[in-house]
Amino acid sequence: MLKSLLIANRGEIACRIMQTCRRLGVRTIAVYSDADTYARHVREADEAIHIGAAPATESYLDAGRIIEAAKASGAEGIHPGYGFLSENADFAEAVVEAGLIWVGPKGATTREMGLKDEAKRIAEAAGVPVLPGYRGDAQDAATLEAEAEKIGYPILIKAVAGGGGRGIRLVSKREDLAGELESAVREAKSAFGDGRVMLEKLVEQPRHIEVQVFGDSHGNAVHLYERDCSLQRRRQKVVEEAPAPGMPEDVREAMTGAAVKLASSVGYEGAGTVEFIVDGARPLALDTFWFLEMNTRLQVEHPVTELITGADLVEWQLRVASGETIPLSQADIPLNGHAIEARVCAEDPADDFRPGAGRLLAFSLGPAESLSTSMEDYEAGASDEDGLIYRVDAGFQAGDTVPATYDSMIAKVIVKGWDRDSATDALSESLGSTIIAGIPSNTGFLKRCIDHDVFRDGAHHVNWIAEEIDVLASPSENAPRSAAGIIAGALLQPRGQGPWQASDGWRMNASPRRSIRLGVAGDVLEIEPDEVDMPEMWDVEPLSARRFAVGVDGETWLVDVPDYEAEAEAIVGGDRVTAPMPGKLIDLKVSAGDEVKKDQVVAVMEAMKMEHSLKAPRDGSIKATGASVGDQVAEGAMLVELDEV
């Protein structure tokens, strides 16, 4: 077993790899860009080395700098994680040439399996079922048009060197082929530096089922059962689970057997995933699945496999890379229970999934976070009182800043239950009480997806989210008022016994009125808590004396209590202009020594998705300023101070 490891990645996968390394006593070296100077994976590593500027091309994709960092730190090997350079054959070979251990398959294997057309030729030769299509060298328009006619529309155009859903186009009829072909080639050249494409028969209601395989340098190959990754948006996975719903045992044996046969045919070493496309319009059967592609790395969704088998796949990777055999034989790999994983991303589903960035004012993933167990506990079979196992793989903590430079995934929530229903119920509960404040997140969208009857019935397919996007993307219209109602109910609770301790707005000769004005979602609402429908799942985290993060069915709302006292002080004058709530200072219009008039705008803040102009309380001269443009400021922070009169 190697004793030191450089992790050529960031975020949750870097932290995940470190978890296993700590248990095994392996020293970890992190690499980081300018954008990740204070990142969690940097804090948790035994050593961290700066490798460049924020753009990935100048840091995480710079193979030379990463190898130099490994040598400088004394690392014995490099683990690439996933994404970035994880499936770059040239990088894998350069690592070995530098005298380091590469935690992954051989570069030659990655190269031949990384090309979709070559991978399918290898699969065909190994006797693995493959969809009808064209994978020839001729790339002229006439050949592709003729081959498309042979296959029959609808078809998919796929980039030969593609991945991650890039370079794929759906063509429903011959008239659309030329335009879609031009678009696919252009994207393939831009994304992969290779404009070659292949054609494939379209499965109109596809499911995506993949098999986790593992090989070693001693000629052994095994599978660790299958995962269903059919819940996707724009060909990007959203929720994954293991085993696949509705999987008959004979189909499982055929699919996993085909995957192992393919891995053995190429002498595969390390962790890999053989992906199959499945006809979702029919029940799973021996003639309903076809080879899609092979991913020559650890997958994002590997935790669900770990939870149903009890295996630590990162440990397996390290042992195989060190020359050891696979830890278990096929007969000794168990299949227990059902596990499901949701990818938590910094994006706004209601705004066409616009990526977000910024400081995490609050970051709590509900029961999954509070009950999450370590890898040692998974192996020992630890669970809560209901037999559920919760796991959180996160690259961030509250207070961290999510950069805008990289992929939007910030965490994964994984739950194992005794069956699919129990695992899905537990995941729904955890997502429902999640609080993520400071950036947008997709947790409400995830909850709506897994709560939907179609998903619960296992009838979803790769295109299902697109068909139901209007229902799934946006929260309930009543959600902001419900969030405000939770805070209103708490604030209006009596402070003690007797009428003088009541908080119901009592006035002589008038009926009681139990209401309060609160700011939420950019609006100020008059809230009577008794008139608000309370949500089924919610949680609250105070951010300050007047600001609360409220989680309602997976959505997080910032609820503010207006500071009327500060407004009154501003009306009568004073010496200071302070921040009325937490936010960002986006403009400072004065500096020390300037003369100002009463009600002159001296600063502008951004908070609650709105701009707030702050005015001078009186005539006078500026004594000092307390913040700079771009600063995140706390409620009550001094922004501008006037000289005493």
- First-to-final CA distance of the chain: 73
> In whole angstroms, what is the distance from residue 243 CA to residue 572 CA?
67
Any residues with CB less than 8 A from the CB of 372 and at least 6 apart, and which?
Answer: 390, 391, 392
b/e per residue 39-73 (b: at least 16 CB within 10 A) = bbbbebbebbbbbbebebeebbbbbebbbebbeeb
Radius of gyration of the chain (CA): 28
Provide φ and ψ at 622, rounded to 5°: -80, 125
For 75, the token pair is: 């690392």
For 121-180, give the DSSP string.
HHHHHTT--B-SEE--S---HHHHHHHHHHH-SSEEEEETT--TTTTEEEE-SGGGHHHH
Closest CA relative to residue 16, chosen from 283, 409, 594, 324: 409
Closest CA relative to residue 343, chosen from 465, 205, 447: 447
In terms of Cβ atoms closer than 10 Å to its own Cβ (0-12, 13-18, 19+), residue 391 is: buried
For 274-298, give the DSSP string.
EEEEEETTS---TTSEEEEEEE-S-
Which residues of 385-494 form beta strands (DSSP E)? 389-394, 401-402, 409-417, 435-437
Long-range pairs, 494-500, Cβ under 8 A, ≥24: none
Closest CA relative to residue 451, chosen from 206, 593, 239: 239
Closest CA relative to residue 383, chosen from 367, 396, 372: 372
Which active-site residues does the annotation give? Answer: 297
Closest CA relative to residue 300, chosen from 256, 347, 343: 343
Closest CA relative to residue 610, chosen from 636, 592, 576, 584: 584
